[in-house]
Structure 1
């Protein structure tokens, strides 16, 4: 039986794709470059190319890796394959927007839990994301802090060690994420309770996120952060 939402002390969050609209940020920047170059960029095509380029053996930490990725996908999109444009795509992360429901939902959830960010992004980028989200986090773990990326179990174990230092355990954490590949599957394998925020529920495919080898049925399933916040509110009133 799935544990009640009232039993958790912490909510751990994937950030990019769950709270920050990275697909919108990526495609917006690529379309701007396309407009300047007289090329119409299809957003879904760009995301598919990004996904294929991003998940290779030559990847660097995110979002620094966007420079390399851009140079790979630009010719296929008809865009100028110049490093300066790749750097522009990387730097666009500084202005990526939160999903419309993220800030309010996090503020509401913060009244009930300690919020932990778990992101494959580098610390420099996370600082911009956190500010965009209203700096709601009790603690944050980035690729720079952990030396690895999800779905590596080592990333999660560092979070387990942190909550242990505060007298809690992984059983006190509800892990919230949109990525089946990076978060939902591995959190299940590690014995965590998880919550899938299906951001692409109205779209086909996995967009900019790698497709999992197999689908993991989550403990909780919502299509938005506001639905999670509302479920928590109701649980606390009952």
Structure 2
């Protein structure tokens, strides 16, 4: 199917539209007196992913800022650093400071002229509203982990997406899901029968980590692009 033929396009938000990786690294370093200078960016992201995934799996109903605060405390414990409660809270609320990717606004501006755009995010309602305002896009629907009751890569999140769009008259084959993470999004979306577009931001840590052997990707995405800008170029070309 041509990209332009989909009625709706759903996006993972953090990692695909928002550069959570740079946001996390900067927030972690800024919250620590020594700026964690002895720890590499790659190590920080690896620590973050490991601790965050455990916390989300064990407490699926936790608000995302609280999950971030707990993740911060867990990372500092692993690094034998003291944890200041106020800094943990600030880290949990740092989402509004995470930068957008440089191609995000232009891509959304173009795509919303042709499709109903949807967000499917591992975050809470309050935080996604702050982010929506920054994205300057009139999203058709926004579905959060807080509303769904589980976190991606749970299949429940993608079944929820399909059910709710079906209630609005959008069939599964009319939906394309876009994400940078094969682990959190591409694999489970494809497993539920949704067409997928993988944004392979290979120059980011997240792009690399999402295809490490430990994640064992087994389903190939239908489309592959190096950026949202590439997706838009293909869309304009009618591919």
Instruction: Give the alignment's TM-score, normalised by structure 1.
Output: 0.89
Counterpart of 1:102 in structure 2 is 104
Q: In 2, Cα distance between the equivalents of 1:177 and 1:85?
A: 30
Report if the CA contact (8 A) 2:8-2:170 is conserved. no
- Aligned partners of 2:12 and 2:121 also within 8 Å: yes
Question: Partners of 1:94 and 1:20 in 2: how far apart?
Answer: 10
- Offset at residue 130 of structure 1 (A): 1.0
In structure 2, the partner of 1:145 is: 147
**Alpha-carbon deviation of 1:156?**
1.7
How do 1:108-123 residues align onto structure 2 when only pairs under 5 Å count? 108-123=110-125
Gap regions ≥5 residues in structure 1: none
Q: Distance in 2 between matches of 1:80 and 1:46?
A: 16
2:22 to 14, 21, 24: 24
2:226 paired with 1:226: no
| Among 187, 196, 199, the residue aligned to 1:197 | 199
**Contact map agreement 1:10 1:173 (CA 8 A) in 2:** yes
Structure 2: gaps spanning 5 or more residues: none
Q: Partner of 1:12 in structure 2?
A: 10
CA–CA distance in structure 2, aligned partners of residues 113 and 122 of structure 1: 25
Q: Work out the number of aligned pairs and report it.
A: 232
CA RMSD of aligned residues (A): 2.2
Alignment of 1:1-238 (within 5 A): 3-34=1-32, 36-37=33-34, 39-40=36-37, 41-56=39-54, 57-59=57-59, 60-77=62-79, 79-201=81-203, 203=205, 205-206=208-209, 211-235=214-238
- Work out the CA distance in 1 between the residues paired with 2:58 and 2:175: 33
